Structure 1
């Protein structure tokens, strides 16, 4: 059984005639008869009585007629839905974002994305980089933006933008007007860090190790689960923190925070578009990746 046979069957049933059914489906009458015969053979039932009054549905034919209409209507609806999905006229996109992409990078491109594709519905799921990559691998999100490119075979990473991580202090801190400090001054200073698994934390640990400092030897006062929590703690004077420039722009402008250089220490990391390895992206996910790269993509060769 196929859709064409059902279309032919309904054409004959609706017109009450094999010849008119053939005209309606642009087939020869013999081809129409073959389609009907194939259906009758498949179901083991006579579906149409050939009478002097035309082709009349049998009781079995009436049952098939009812279901055939539902099947063909469903097929037409499916075709319409897939065309809308392909054109991003009607689609739901689940995006994963680690903390900084989820708080700053992704929200900044949503107005442009939704202006281009007003029928798109976006769900943003946030967590640290490890959590987002796990959600991507479990297919609870289709595409992600993360700050930590783990070496894993099930995810592909494309560099998106670089970010500088700088030491920040609050309004009343004694370093506020120093401009820069020595690396040794950092060891005894109360420090606020992000939670385990944070891309910021990993980048900082690597940079400190390269500078000859074990992060475990620092005076860590707290580990907090978001950039906003870290900013509040620094503003309150609990300690100093290394934070992304992307996340502190407003506070630095207002003077709530001040950025301090640490001699001999440079912390730079990249954010990545993460996708499932070997999997086809939906049109909506491809559109999102395009818009992200338009706004943030690293220049070639950098």
Structure 2
């Protein structure tokens, strides 16, 4: 177990703010300062520099942060393994998960619910951001397991395939686009199109599909960019433009007739979802157990 002094240091170092650490840990700012002072006395060196209200890590502080992040991961693994010995039928520990928008809204909730019911001693948290920001949270140790669109090729992470889903072109029933059910790639360049924000995994998948036809996203007639799947879907419901949305995100709207699926001849957009972990933590007990559970859950549905 890490000492409370070290836990305080981790929060201050993560946010570079004594005030933010105070809010997160629910203790006063003077108490935060005292815990940091205790560590600096123990290691006999300053851990932070304070200049004109800004806080930064010293060289010693950077070294301590790196070791404490490793120690924190090890502490979680110890908790998991000791808990498993106590009760081999019941997982014990903390699952800190981050997922891109589509996964968080439409894919993983049912898995999390089923997993929680079988493992009531596990503390679960889920961060919902676009793929780029989820990866940043993983690298910064805010989460321990990410699920995003696309296989990351970064040197310090490991990717493991989860599942594949379709992205489809849709529009509102009132849109003039419903006059035809199929459009050519050439016609696509003239159609007003609404897309997700930069950093979205869906946007990356669209770009990859277009590249097969020697097109770029910049070649499209983009009339709107929106942050988040729900924001884009609601805009398409009210507008006459075309939107590319995950099939799972619009299944209910298609069934009710609130949205209409169109076809772009020869354009197939598949998104591949992956579990992403930091290198060296692939065998973390709680992550490994959840990955296996999630894969089995979707295999049973197929």
Alignment TM-score, normalising by the size of structure 2: 0.68
Q: Distance in 1 between matches of 2:200 and 2:239?
A: 22
- 2:297 aligns with 295
1:166-212 CA distances to partner (integer Å, 9 max, x unpaired)? 10111211233633211222212111111111111011112112112
Q: CA distance change for structure 1 residues 159 and 89 in 2, over 3 Å: closer, same or farther?
A: closer
- 2:279 aligns with 277
Q: Distance in 2 between matches of 1:240 and 1:292?
A: 33
Which residue of 252, 255, 258 corresponds with 2:254? 252
Q: Does residue 139 in structure 1 map to residue 138 in structure 2?
A: no
Quote the offset at 1:82 in angstroms: 6.3
Quote the offset at 1:255 in angstroms: 1.0
Quote the offset at 1:245 in angstroms: 0.8
Q: CA distance change for structure 1 residues 160 and 146 in 2, over 3 Å: closer, same or farther?
A: same
Q: CA distance change for structure 1 residues 238 and 177 in 2, over 3 Å: closer, same or farther?
A: closer
- 1:218 aligns with 220
SS at match of 1:158: strand
- 1:84 aligns with 83
- 2:106 aligns with 104
SS at match of 1:197: coil
- 2:206 aligns with 204
Q: Distance in 2 between matches of 1:279 and 1:81?
A: 13
Q: Which runs of 4+ in 1 moved over 6 A?
A: 79-82
What 5-or-longer segments of structure 2 have no aligned partner? Answer: 1-77
Q: CA distance change for structure 1 residues 137 and 202 in 2, over 3 Å: closer, same or farther?
A: same
Q: Distance in 2 between matches of 1:288 and 1:80?
A: 16
- 2:12 aligns with none
Is the contact made by 1:96 and 1:125 (CA closer than 8 Å) also made in structure 2?
yes
Which residue of 178, 181, 192 corresponds with 1:179? 181
Is the contact made by 1:169 and 1:259 (CA closer than 8 Å) also made in structure 2?
yes
1:70-120 CA distances to partner (integer Å, 9 max, x unpaired)? xxxxxxxxx999633665554221101011111111112112101110122
Q: Does residue 126 in structure 1 map to residue 128 in structure 2?
A: yes
Bigger radius of gyration, 1 or 2? Answer: 1
- 1:164 aligns with 166
Quote the offset at 1:269 in angstroms: 2.0
RMSD: 2.3
Q: Distance in 2 between matches of 1:182 and 1:190?
A: 14
Q: Does residue 95 in structure 1 map to residue 97 in structure 2?
A: yes
SS at match of 2:108: helix
Q: CA distance change for structure 1 residues 82 and 213 in 2, over 3 Å: closer, same or farther?
A: closer
Is the contact made by 2:176 and 2:240 (CA closer than 8 Å) also made in structure 1?
no
